[in-house]
Amino acid sequence: MMPADDAISSLTDAERPSPLTPGTPLAIQVEDLHKSFSIPTNRVDSLKERVVRPFSGRDHRQLHALDGVSFEIHQGEFFGIVGRNGSGKSTLLKLLASIYRADAGTIRMAGRLAPFIELGVGFNPELTARENVVLNGVMMGLTPQETRSRLDAIVEFAELTEFIDLKLKNYSSGMLVRLAFSVMMEADADVLLIDEVLAVGDAAFQQKCADAFREMKAAGKTIVLVTHEMRTVEEYCHRAMLVSDGSIHYIGDPEEVGRRYLQLNFEHEGGSAEPDPADESLPSSDEVRMLDSWIEDAEGNRLDNLEHGSELRLRVDLEILEDVPGLEMGFVIANADGVGIFQFAVRMANASGGSELAAGERVRVKADIENLLVQGRYFVNSAVNRIQDKSIALHAHECVDFVVFGGEPQAHGNVRLPMEIEAVVSNEAER
Amino acid sequence: MSEGTAKVAELKEVRGPAALGGSSRRFFDLLWLISVTEFKRVYFGTVLGYLWSLIRPLMLFGVLLFVFTKVFKIGSDQAEHYPVLLLLGIVTFTFFQEATVNAVGSVIAQEGVVRKTQFPRLVIPLSTVITSGLNFCLNLVVVLGFILAFGVTPMWTWLLFPVAMLALLVLTTAVSMALSVLYVRFRDVAIIWTVVAQVLFYATPILYPINIFENESYERLLMVNPLAVIFEQVRVWVLEPNAPTAVEAAGGAAGLIPAAVIFVAACVFGVWIFKREAPRIAEEL
């Protein structure tokens, strides 16, 4: 998705007119939509099987892909639909596109719809570009005459004028994609339904696509975009909808949708449970045992994901197993590739301020760190060292893992440091 | 990009995928365009192009003509113009066979279109019928040359030929519709149909004139096959006015009732099963 985002990001907030003023007519109205698939546990594919075993193999499992979904999209709106795999967003898209039929509920739509679930569907490699464009145009609801009259514009936009009579099987994949995208641009539908097909072409073509999209927005087209890519949604959509387990999790502000999407995404990962001190799997040595390690929020609730810019509150509980002259604990925060990003350490002190620790004592290590980490997954590696000879008493690899969301995604690096930066033009005369 | 902006479009209910789907104009545009491009692809995509589609039935015709006139020596006694009867029969049956056999896998072949776009499902089997039909029309021109060369005199009943072909077209379409959606569910339809088509070829008076049998009950039995009725009537109308008509071969109009029932049943079944299955095709694939 990367190149597409660049194309899309060139449309800035300033260019978003709000179609959400009251009274804007609706483009799509969905009411209480239900769709379930029966998944045969034993698929009967041949007549023989059905004849031989007429009743077996007909056990179905009902999969509720969509469970009572209702929403409205206004004309001229750029609407995002996001959700994890299997959330039902693709089913919803296919229902909107009249590829599936709903079990219950209604879909109402204003004007002509052009679905772009995959670019270049129906392209026939044995036919020339000219024939394919006409075929594709008609598939999108133009008449053959209309398509022929737009042929030049389409081919010119795709920068394929000199290849118009070449059979598609001789096209490169980039050329194919450009052609398909150009037909879609000229299809002149009132509602565009787009499923992550934007990652097409080289940078120059990206720019053209972005311009064309801007034109379409200006022309009051309604665009429904289904994507995984939060950046696209946040920067491009007027409103967005988060689908989860076949129902609407949240609908409204794209930033909020993005935030909730990430939260939803990482909810199921990690998650440290209350520790069992007798647990053999806890990192342990003769002198010390790690009882627990976690990250918590200001209220003391355990987290496995936190926002960029918030406070990273790392906690570790240790139990001293035999008397020791002195210990210190060190940490390394590593990224998903295992590369260390920064380290810190603390010396353990007893109640009187000395360094001697007695068997049976418990130590809690608390580290509160400003979270400058960018979006991604991180691990905490820790070790307990003997102060005298700096030897390792206990090693706990990846004792905590967490996910950071929010903030601006970065192509490179793992931290976003506070800084002042400027680029100043200096005149020759002032030197 | 201009027309959509001025008017405020009204909300209309979307009913999901269907056999026809969308406007009828788009349906017919798509149907015609796909049929013609497919026809072009098949016959202009190869070096000899259209000739191939002609050579196949002509070669079959040549072989069969030799076998049946020189080896078995049948036909010529019962049929005035046996060679052209054979040729016309082969070419006509080729249309039926080609259209239906191609229809079997047609929906699967268009999987991408069915699953990824809003596409009127009926276009798919119909376009295979039309593509074969275009090919058939071209072949008929060649057959006409043979008919005249073999000394058949033109007669007014030639005008009835299209009526018989209309019946054949309707039957072919209905069968194609049923096969195309049944194949999505049951993959053995393909094998079954090649066998059935083979049986139908022999159960239709193509290789032999219908009046070859000494026992009339065979004639009556054959007239249960709607294709046999159509082919026999074509023989009377186009080649041999004195040959037994379908009614005569069936032993009276009542003898044609089974064929008529089968014909109507096939059509009703084709439309019914297609209508029932069409909305769910994308999910079954």
Sheet containing A288-296, strands listed edge to edge, beginning at the edge strand earlier in sequence = A302-303, A288-296, A311-320, A362-370
CA distance B63 to chain A (A): 33
Residue B168: closest CA among B112, B96, B100? B96
- A283 versus B90: the higher-pLDDT residue is B90
Average pLDDT over residues A393-404: 84
| Cα–Cα distance for residue pair A64/A249, rounded to 1 Å | 16
Paired tokens of B195: 């066998």
Nearest 5 degrees, angle CA A425-CA A426-CA A430? 160
pLDDT band of B179, cuts 50, 70, 90 = very high
Q: Which residue has the tokens 């239906």?
A: B100
What pLDDT is attached to residue B47?
Answer: 64
What pLDDT is attached to residue A58?
Answer: 53
Q: Which residue has the tokens 């483009």?
A: A27
What pLDDT is attached to residue A15?
Answer: 44
The one-letter amino acid at A222: T
Contact B9 A121 (CB under 8 A): no
| Cα–Cα distance for residue pair A122/A179, rounded to 1 Å | 13
Q: Which residues of B touch A215 (CB under 8 A)?
A: 1
Closest CB to B118 among A98, A126, A134 = A98
Query: Is B282 within 8 Å of chain A by CB?
Result: yes
- A315 versus A406: the higher-pLDDT residue is A315
Domain A288-405 fold is Coagulation Factor XIII; Chain A, domain 1 (2.70.50)
CA distance A212 to chain B (A): 11
| Cα–Cα distance for residue pair A410/A374, rounded to 1 Å | 7
B206-238: per-residue pLDDT in tens? 888 888 877 788 888 888 999 999 999 999 999
CA distance A253 to chain B (A): 25
Judge: domain A2-266, CATH 2.30.33.40: no
pLDDT band of B27, cuts 50, 70, 90 = confident
Is residue B69 predicted with pLDDT exceeding 70?
yes
Paired tokens of A38: 């029966």
Residue B103: closest CA among B19, B184, B176? B176
Contact A99 B13 (CB under 8 A): no
Q: Chain B interface, mutation test: which of A58, A121, A168, most B Cβ atoms within 10 Å?
A: A121
The region, left, alpha or beta by phi > 0 then psi within -120 to 50, assigned to residue B96 is alpha
Annotated domain spans of chain B: 22-277
pTM of structure: 0.65
Q: Chain A interface, mutation test: which of B3, B14, B124, most A Cβ atoms within 10 Å?
A: B14
Q: What does chain B come to in residues?
A: 285
Tell me the range of A32-36, A270-274, B60-64 where mean pLDDT is highest: A32-36
CA distance A301 to chain B (A): 45
Is residue A411 predicted with pLDDT exceeding 90?
no
Which region among A101-105, A200-204, B13-17, B269-273 has the lowest average model confidence (pLDDT)?
Answer: A200-204
The region, left, alpha or beta by phi > 0 then psi within -120 to 50, assigned to residue B185 is alpha
Alpha-carbon Rg for chain A in angstroms = 29
Is residue B5 predicted with pLDDT exceeding 50?
no
| Cα–Cα distance for residue pair A268/A249, rounded to 1 Å | 16
What pLDDT is attached to residue A374?
Answer: 87
Query: Is B215 within 8 Å of chain A by CB?
Result: no
pLDDT band of A6, cuts 50, 70, 90 = very low
Query: Is B3 within 8 Å of chain A by CB?
Result: yes
Residue A307: closest CA among A354, A266, A277? A266
Which ipTM did the prediction report? Answer: 0.71
Q: Decide: A408 and A416 in contact? Cβ < 8 Å.
A: yes
| Cα–Cα distance for residue pair B221/B205, rounded to 1 Å | 12
Burial class (CB in 10 A: 0-12, 13-18, 19+), B77: exposed
Other CB atoms closer than 10 Å to residue B156's CB: what's the count? 7
pLDDT band of B1, cuts 50, 70, 90 = very low
CATH 2.70.50.60 segments of chain A:
288-405
Residue A225: closest CA among A239, A214, A215? A239
Q: Decide: A295 and A306 in contact? Cβ < 8 Å.
A: yes
B131-169: per-residue pLDDT in tens? 899 889 988 888 898 889 888 888 898 999 999 999 999
Q: What percent of chain B has pLDDT over 90?
A: 32
Chain B residue with CA closest to A146: the answer is B29
Contact B30 A95 (CB under 8 A): no
What pLDDT is attached to residue A143?
Answer: 84
Contact A75 B15 (CB under 8 A): no
Average pLDDT over residues A271-287: 57
Helix, strand, coil distribution of chain B in percent, nearest 5: 75, 0, 25
Which region among A37-46, A165-174, A364-373, A408-417 has the lowest average model confidence (pLDDT)?
Answer: A37-46
Other CB atoms closer than 10 Å to residue B78's CB: what's the count? 17
Closest CB to A110 among B11, B21, B118 = B11
CA distance A135 to chain B (A): 7
CATH 3.40.50.300 segments of chain A:
2-266
Chain B residue with CA closest to A218: the answer is B5
pLDDT band of A425, cuts 50, 70, 90 = confident
